[in-house]
Amino acid sequence: MGRYAQIIGWGKSVPNHVLTNEDLARIVNTSDEWIRTHTGIRQRYIATDPRETTATLAIKAAQEALRVADVPASRLDMIIVATASPEHIFPSTASLVQDAIGATRAGAFDLSAACSGFVYALSVARGLIVSGSAEYVLVIGSETLSRLVDWSDRSTCVLFGDGAGAVLLAASEVPGGILSTVLGSDGSGGNLLIVPAGGSRMPACLETVASGMHYLKMNGREVFRFATRVMARAAQEVAEQAGLTMDEVDLLIPHQANRRIIESAMKQLKLDESRVFINIDRYGNTSAASIPIALCEAIEEGRIKQNDHLILVGFGGGLTWGAAAVQWSVPLPLPETPWWRAAQRSGSFHMAQMRSLGRRALRRLQGITVRSEEGNGRQPQPILEESLQKLRAHLWKVKTSKEEATSSEEKTT
């Protein structure tokens, strides 16, 4: 029998702070009317708290997706984080997510395709599942682009917001799920949407910071032109690959970059607004997070039902574009989760945090022990040996408890 990649869990997370157009008008020379007329944006969420990062937003979205699917993190085979604003150049943001949620069996990596990243990641995840290399793959789009924006440049600072969205894909013998994907790139337009400094070509230094080269730069007119050409074409192509006509598409979920770009695609595809999901007015452009956030909102608003055909389509820096055709298979709305099940899942995430802290402490103690042994032939202090033994015993206890909890969950499932 065939293998299919089904979406069985989803979740989103946004920062606490809302930045309205009126707030922006106090910072740069703009107005609410100008922003709404040119972009369709009324507000966006901004990570003003230093504790809100690309990783922390991704972790919250991931935990929600696992909760919805009722799948323990220990069963994940791979975690992919699509982002243009990673926590670090390395380690990957995905590895930080893997540690935080307790996905002890999972590989993890980041994927860079700018605003198209989530669709690219879906395509990779589908390939892993269909080929038999994975059973469960967590795909996340997460961004804090507000930290790459020049807040004195009104051509870019009005556009972007922060947030994260996640979906859990599972192997299934039931036909449907991710039916087809289309990916594309035109690197000749790479300079049209770019963060020039911070990489190997132009490492960060006093000069690059002083000249603002670590900020996002965009040729808005050219990007707009590119987007209006590619969005409709990619949506049409992925529908054809899935054996669908546009009349059979129940909902188009586009990258939320600019309302005028979305309206252009609607016109070319002959879709009315009832068959297109738009939430740019509330979130702005959240880059790789925009499509999964919109998908979560569409589910919350009852815009998706079992057996619906969806098209997810995006474009971004690179220049890149991507589209995915999806047959939705999960019955909606979901039944309410029993309180004890929610508590059990929350407990597993707390246990993951304890495990991470324990492993870090153990690594530090091991380092101290090795340095002590190497220094002039001195032996480790007895207190270090005693602490190490206690910590190992504690970690073994945590590991055993976690395995028992996981076994209990799987039996219950």
Count other C-beta atoms under 10 Å from residue 366's C-beta. 13
Q: Summarize pLDDT for 30-63 with one digit per residue, the tens.
A: 999 999 999 999 999 999 999 999 999 999 999 9
Q: Residue 144 to residues 39, 100, 164, 261: CA-CA distances in angstroms? A: 20, 19, 9, 23
Position 91: which residue type? P
Residue boundaries of the structural domains of the chain: 4-327, 339-412
Distance (Å, whole) CA 123 – CA 114? 15
Report whether pLDDT(26) > 70.
yes
Q: Summarize pLDDT for 181-212 with one digit per residue, the tens.
A: 999 999 999 999 999 999 999 999 999 999 99
What are φ and ψ of residue 266, in 5° steps? -60, -45
Q: Which CATH architecture has domain 4-327?
A: 3-Layer(aba) Sandwich (3.40)
What pLDDT was estimated at residue 196?
96
User: Which tokens belong to 296?
Assistant: 């979560």
Report whether pLDDT(402) > 90.
no
Q: Residue 15 to residues 56, 161, 324: CA-CA distances in angstroms? A: 10, 9, 27
Which sequence positions are flagged as catalytic? 115, 255, 285
Q: Summarize pLDDT for 55-97 with one digit per residue, the tens.
A: 999 999 999 999 999 999 999 999 999 999 999 999 999 999 9
